[in-house]
Structure 1
């Protein structure tokens, strides 16, 4: 089998052929699926190996002390031979992986061959195709948790043990210094515990990532931003805990900890940074300095790690293994999201080159995974498939034509989008009556009633759904509630207009379509307004019918979110692309007159930039570049459609143009520049919906198309997790 090794004397890295380990009693033989490079700990070891002998001595004074003691005991010649022999040997790398149990040793009864397990230990969870792992250093992977995510188990346990040492309590404020891999995980664990987090790191991309994953604010420790955030969140008292997750030789982290920690606060050292404690500062505040020992109780105890002797849970609640299992559970339940931390996935055969790129700075990463050959082969053999739920109407028929009279609308939600983009087009419109607005707080409902002329305002949704005079319900709430509210309104027999997204999970989408089948009510519209934009509609008409496949490019310069935006709550509201990506997929599908049959998505490391490639039945493709790191002054949306010697270009819904090569002649159409603000189609979309409700005619967008677009949006998440295209089974 192959294993990554390093010669500490020369610094040489190699992928070495070594014997397969035996399966000893008290453990299991595990075939690796993914192993994780700890870009802090492992790169420090790799860098040290490349130093001169003097440099090695300076970096490891603890080892120098052992050498001096050996000289005193055994003499210089014997000590020299011993040290050189140890240095000039191959040593392993790695300590966090996920794999499949290949063989079970005697005395093990909690797993069987074929089970997926996460493994820990710098002697047992190595970057190797096979590892023997003792019982207390592995944990079964919960159902549904991807192997690449379970590979974070060990580093997650390190972060979890650090948080436990801090004894954080609900409502406290913590400072995390160093936003590398451990710091990012500590931030998420604290946030999940109800602790507000301020992060400090000189890298702005890591600061932005931590904010997206839950931190209240982050900044460069050398700037005033961190100090200001701490003062604002704590009323000037200082944070309750500081977590040192930084490395290097600077003493700045411990000095910053003393300055920003409250009186009698706690400082927890998780990383390996310089610890020259400024005595006066720590003494005057009586700071409690604590160390977090790796993965938790049991670490470095051979009876626990090698012999499998567990500590009684009544005396030691959280051991290494229990920490490992706990972290896997948190990831499986979505309380911790490790996918945004994955900067790069490399094939195991490229391990040496990957280390070189990391060491030289060519590859900047928070976390890097090795994918092993068997895992790659499985992916090629069984690419992910996401089924587009079939739309079954159970005898549903178009709603009967209404008698003359206004269409009575109820709104569930009256937030910023509803009050700025929808209600202004409906208030005062002929043939429309705003019946009732439903909000969670009485005052917001009263405000909407006053501004837009609703006949009534309430917090009772059931009363509105039971009101037979209400013709249609608008669902304009936060993303996590869309599917359930839509389902209830459909079952109540109402026509429904729901803002995007229709659903955040496959189960939610299936639930909405099940409500259609159960009720026979298919009167549903999702707020995909761009297909109704006047410029885009005229451009499509001028482009005309296609005879061959098309290529479409859609650049979305989404920009960064403001601090505190609820879009950042990905654990409850889904990713940002899940929330608004349906807009762009729907627009592409409408322009190409088809629904996608496969989705391939890749993400840029350290941010939310995505490239999404959609493939259509006739061979057409659409590439959506969804970026958050562009210049604010650049247009938000630009689109190019190319086919049959024609190019249609849309410039941010302000101007459209068409270039045509026809019979040797070149023609060009350019729209007049819109005299007012950008028209992205909301008014025309609402007019079409109201007309369909009034007349009983078809909904503006077929339900099958809404389901296909939603499924394709959900497939982006699946594709990012697997790194391969996702087939949309059942797509039209």
Structure 2
């Protein structure tokens, strides 16, 4: 049976939610900022669904994702459930004729991610993945300057994404369990964000990787068996021949969400730090400058996603809001610049697979284009 896709046009987007944790709150705040009608939420238990509906402002709740998708009164569903459930829930939504915003990883295997890309295309539905760091205006500014040749040919990349929330053996989370989190944790969870930015800002694909991974503790918390990595160190090449290094760790004491990206060009360098999102460092041989966010002087793409004047700080939730606004614009038929789609979720799965394969083989691995 073929499910008809509703023509939304300029109408209000009717939103459903799967999951009730921290990311569900972030997604809901962004959907509300985009003017959505918060229709329904489903979690793994009826009590959890009722609590999420009450706390987040959805009109109804339940514990049955299939029922939420089958009711026919939602246009888009946000999937914010454990990693290994993403692919199945996204597929069910697409088959029901519902657009999907799916937390990363889109899928824990390349084959599942590729199947979702194909299905979304066949159904004419929008599938978006929140690689939201693309929506920091100074990332867009860096991307524009690289594309315009301002820094010259990219020579090297220095990147890192460091956190400390899994530093102690008592630190535990469902993501450490392979059955819920999947075969990769540090890279799939945060390294995927970092490599999405590397390719997005440089405008180039990573062509090969040489990776080392480390699992520091085999057991965490109340004797949970850990099946994925805490740390990944990756050397990589870009298509132009530029070389790069990236360190990803969820065990870097004192680092809360330290995503940094520095590109060194033949003329200048640019550096972005996610914990200082209002700034872009630009260095050259004679002098360096710290460029502050200002829509009046920004590139067109960076100015487009700035919602407040210079001097009024924008942060993570603002970036997430801008992503969801773009995703909903795509649902209405638009084509927003830089919207991360299921194709980008597939790319993250391909890179994750290459990193794990490289670490297992202790060798360089070519990354499929």
**Same-fold call, TM > 0.5?**
yes
Q: What's the counterpart of residue 513 of structure 1? A: 117
Q: CA deviation at 1:475?
A: 0.5
> In structure 1, which of residues 576, 581, 585 is the aligned counterpart of residue 185 of structure 2?
576
Does residue 656 (structure 1) correspond to residue 279 (structure 2)? The answer is yes
1:705 corresponding residue in structure 2: 344
State yes or no: 1:679 paired with 2:284: no
Report the CA distance shift for 1:696/1:639 in structure 2 as closer, same or farther (over 3 A). closer
Give the match for residue 252 of structure 1.
none
Give the match for residue 108 of structure 2.
504
Does the aligned pair in 2 maintain the 1:534–1:679 contact within 8 Å? Answer: no
- Structure 2 CA distance for partners of 1:426 and 1:599, relative to 1, 3 Å: same
Whether 2:202 is the aligned partner of 1:565: answer no
Q: Is the 8 A contact 1:486 1:512 kept in 2?
A: yes
Instruction: Give the gaps of 5 or more residues in structure 2.
Output: 218-229, 294-309
Displacement of 1:665: 5.5
Residue-by-residue CA offset, 1:431-463 (whole Å, 9 max, x unaligned) = 310111011111221122222321211222222
Cα distance in 2 between the residues matched to 1:534 and 1:587: 13
**Is the 2:163–2:256 Cα contact (8 Å) retained in structure 1?**
no
SS at match of 2:363: coil
1:615: Cα distance to partner? Answer: 2.3
- Tell me if the contact between 2:161 and 2:190 (Cα under 8 Å) persists in the aligned partners: no
Which whole-Å CA distance do the structure 1 matches of 2:153 and 2:335 have between them? 33
Root-mean-square deviation over aligned CA pairs = 2.8
Q: CA deviation at 1:586?
A: 0.8
Distance 2:39 2:257 in 1: 38
1:413 paired residue number: 19
Cα distance in structure 1, aligned partners of 2:23 and 2:271: 27
Q: How does 1:276-675 map to 2 (within 5 A)?
A: 402-419=8-25, 421-427=26-32, 429=33, 431-516=35-120, 519-546=122-149, 547-561=152-166, 563-574=171-182, 575-577=184-186, 578-603=188-213, 606=216, 608-632=230-254, 636-654=258-276, 655-661=278-284, 666=287, 668-671=289-292
Distance in 1, matches of 2:34 and 2:162, equals: 37
Greater relative contact order, per chain length (Cα 8 Å cut-off, separation 6+): 2
Question: Measured at CA, do residues 403 and 548 of structure 1 come closer, stay the same or move farther in structure 2, by a change above 3 Å?
Answer: closer
Q: Does the residue aligned with 1:448 lie in a helix, a strand or coil?
A: helix
Q: Cα gap change, 1:425/1:716 in structure 2, threshold over 3 Å: closer, same or farther? A: same
1:536 touches 1:650 (CA, 8 Å); kept in 2? yes
- Shift of residue 646, structure 1, vs aligned partner: 1.2
Distance in 2 of aligned mates of 1:651 and 1:501: 23
Deviation at 1:571, TM superposition (A): 4.5
Mapped partners of 1:513, 1:635: distance in 2: 30
CA contact 1:596–1:708 (8 Å) conserved in 2: no
Larger Rg: 1
Change (3 A) 1:541 1:696: closer
Structure 1 unmatched runs, 5+: 1-398
The structure-2 alpha-carbon separation of the partners of 1:674 and 1:416, relative to structure 1 and needing over 3 Å to count, comes to farther
In the alignment, what sits opposite 1:273?
none
The Cα shift of 1:579 comes to 2.9
By how many angstroms is 1:522 displaced? 4.6
Distance change (3 Å), C-alpha of 1:545 and 1:644: farther
Question: 1:486 offset after TM fit, Å?
Answer: 1.0
Residues 220-299 of structure 1 correspond to what in structure 2 (within 5 A)?
none
How big is each residue's C-alpha offset from its partner over 1:57-91, in whole Å with a ceiling of 9 and x where there is no partner? xxxxxxxxxxxxxxxxxxxxxxxxxxxxxxxxxxx
TM-score by length of 1: 0.42
TM-score, structure 2 normalization: 0.79
Instruction: Measure, in 1, the Cα distance between the counterparts of 2:242 and 2:339.
Output: 24
Report the secondary structure of 1:481's partner residue: helix
Whole-angstrom distance in 2 between the partners of 1:410 and 1:595: 34
Q: Distance in 2 between matches of 1:449 and 1:481?
A: 21
Does the C-alpha gap of structure 1 residues 526 and 476 become closer, same or farther in structure 2, counting only changes over 3 Å? Answer: same
How many equivalent pairs are there? 327
Distance 2:320 2:69 in 1: 25
Query: Could you tell me how far apart the structure 1 residues matched to 2:146 and 2:65 are?
Result: 45
Q: CA deviation at 1:564?
A: 3.1
Match of 1:331 in 2: none
Give distance in 1, aligned partners of 2:342 and 2:252: 35
Q: Is the 8 A contact 1:588 1:622 kept in 2?
A: no
Cα pair distance change 1:684/1:621, threshold 3 Å? farther
Taking the aligned partners of 1:550 and 1:660, their CA distance within structure 2 comes to 14
